[in-house]
Amino acid sequence: MTDKALRVQQLRDEINRHNHSYYVLNAPTISDYDFDMLLKELEAIERENPELDDPLSPTHRVGSDINSHFDQAAHIHPMLSLGNTYSIAEVDDFIRRTRESLGEQKFEIVGEMKYDGTSISLIYEHGRLVRAVTRGDGEKGDIVTDNIKTIKSIPLQLSGSGWPDLLEVRGEVLLPWAAFDKLNAERAYNEEPLFANPRNAASGTLKLLNPAEVAHRGLDAYFYYLLGPELPADNHYDNLEYARQWGFKVAPVMKLLHGISEVDEFINYWDTARKELPVATDGLVFKVNSLRQQLNLGFTAKSPRWAIAYKFAAERGLTRLRFVSFEVGRTGVVTPVANLEPVLLSGTIVKRASLHNADIIRSLDIHTDDMVYVEKGGEIIPKITGVDLSGRQPDSHPVEFVTHCPACGSPLERVEGEAAWICPNKYGCPPQIVGRIEHFVGRRMMNIDGVGEETARLLFDSGLVTNVADLYDLTVEKLMTLERFADKSARRVIQGLEDSKRVPFERVVFALSIPYVGETGAKKLARATADIDTLMAMTAEQLTEIEDIGERIANSIVEYFANPLNRAIIQRLRDAGLQMSIERDESETSDRLAGKTIVISGTFTKNSRDRYKELIELNGGKNSGSISKKTDYLLAGDNMGPAKLEKATSLGVPIIDEDTFLSMIGLTD
């Protein structure tokens, strides 16, 4: 194999790995700039050496965000990516090339902000939203209509007049900074992995299976392009103004530009001003305004020739590492934190940055007192991206990950198959105990008013609360012996504890701090088991039959309930009056679907998909995400995926609509 061929293979392998991390795992491991540089290098080699080209090369495709849990639909028009550039000179070259290609001196450019979210295509028929599809692989994407309907800024019925009977509107689903901060604060509190940036958060949210949780997160959307056979104007700018009148949230940053000087001025202004916007941005987009000229310019295999994206450079600072601290969380995971000399980034002072795990420390080769490069991922989460070796001190030594818990001294254990190290002393390590108390009293768990992080620490340090069951032994008199408590604040806590006894069972399960069981998992466990005794008695094999409960979660649940201390705590919570079973409407519960496996596909009008899944389980049936010979029924709604319909037909699986299903379980009108 020649050196060129070897480099091509290396590049393809590396780009494919990064594509998987970005589009499938929602966990990018490389900056956009570095990824683009790899792709450009591969494109150049393939262009100069056509014998090395391969139809399966990543240069011939766009990344995919398709999710197997959703039905797919083909795009009416392919959703292509834009060519990226990182310099004003390259944008200027684009303007010159466009002028030469058109053979016209007079043409307009529309300058827009490039919002950093996840692309979406909306289809309207006769003014009504009928389908929402993610970008996917550019040719087809996931149908996420139910989730899109939860975004309040998206019109379900167009307003005004003049809209065509068939209209496709493309835009970007975003998570505003305020909502992003709130979401990450909640995830940090629950010791869930933080989203690296609003783009990943928006993408992950749009793929949630529960529209109610999507609605809770506060997504927004801006729209930037119209397609259809009868658009109202012959140019891009005016079409977007019409879209604004029809109720769409069209990007406020949109300007007609004439020539290179105006384009350069637009770039220089927004390079700074963008930091004041309420949503994340990563660049600018420049489009030829005339639709006729767009048509004349055409497309390459991957992108339109009439548009280009200019990417802003990430803001980076250089500062000294003061020391690395190691912090223990509620679940025992030990996280290294870089403590830095203060550095100003994106308008805020950065003093700390997570180093995530031992593998990251090793890959960065960080030494004591190093000068380190710090960036804000998505302009919000500080991260260390490299070391300035020229500033390394002669007597420095590599930062070593601790071998023992910094809080209790227990030898750390490596989580199998992961990069995390944990303290195994779950019931004797103070930060883990306090963390479980903090988690238990939290708003989305038991919501006990008057107990926050500082109070939880105070209650533990005083010896009054050493596990969550001890909370219900508190009295006004006991609390008033503590510093910071007076009669009013003590009574507030006691009332909060009393109110928590009405919190539903699914939130009690979440509050217990069962390792790997998050809020969604707790809901599914509660609904599938109905009471704590059933849940405690289940085997790992039985638990894995519950939707979204994998082997690791199942084993963790079994291990949790096998511990006598946990069982004793649960009994004390039961005695205190907490809800240990789920209240169900008996009229909805039956064995009518016992032994039946049902696949749900499409969108529905009388109930949500999640509601139908719940009704299947309440009536003894089992939900499945894919069709097989074992499938008894396909519950089909509107916009059902053609692949599932074809497979059901070929296997002879009965296809029923929602009225038939409701009749089967005795819930007809």
Q: Which CATH class is domain 316-414?
A: mainly beta
Architecture of domain 3-60: Orthogonal Bundle (1.10)
Pick 58 or 221 by higher pLDDT.
221
Query: Highest mean pLDDT range out of 80-94, 97-111, 340-354, 531-545?
Result: 531-545
Terminal Cα-to-Cα distance of the chain (whole angstroms): 71
611 alpha carbon, distance to own chain's centre = 23
Fold observed for domain 588-664:
Rossmann fold (3.40.50)
Pick from 142, 136, 164: nearest CA to 78: 136
8 Å CB contact between 576 and 494: no
Written as one letter, the residue type at 207 is: K
Average pLDDT in the chain: 86
Q: Which residues are catalytic?
A: 114
pLDDT for residue 377? 53
Tokens of 303: 């992108």
pLDDT for residue 545? 86
DSSP strands (E only) in 63-148: 72-74, 84-85, 109-115, 118-125, 128-134, 140-142
Q: Which CATH class is domain 430-576?
A: mainly alpha
What does the pLDDT look like over 449-479, one tens digit per residue?
888 888 999 999 999 999 999 999 999 999 9
Pick from 532, 636, 640, 546: nearest CA to 581: 532
All structural domains of the chain with their residue ranges? 3-60, 72-311, 316-414, 430-576, 588-664
Tokens of 46: 């393939």
| Cα distances (angstroms) measured from residue 381 to each of 129, 196, 362 | 36, 7, 21
Does the pLDDT at position 521 exceed 90? no
Between CA 266 and CA 259 the distance in angstroms is 11
8 Å CB contact between 529 and 538: yes
Pick from 206, 158, 171, 202: nearest CA to 184: 202
Does the pLDDT at position 65 exceed 80? no
Mean pLDDT value across residues 357-363? 85
Task: Give phi and psi for 142, each to the nearest 5.
Answer: -80, 140
What does the pLDDT look like over 476-513, one tens digit per residue?
999 999 988 899 999 999 999 999 999 999 899 999 99
Fold observed for domain 72-311:
D-amino Acid Aminotransferase; Chain A, domain 1 (3.30.470)
pLDDT for residue 401? 92
Does the pLDDT at position 224 exceed 90? yes
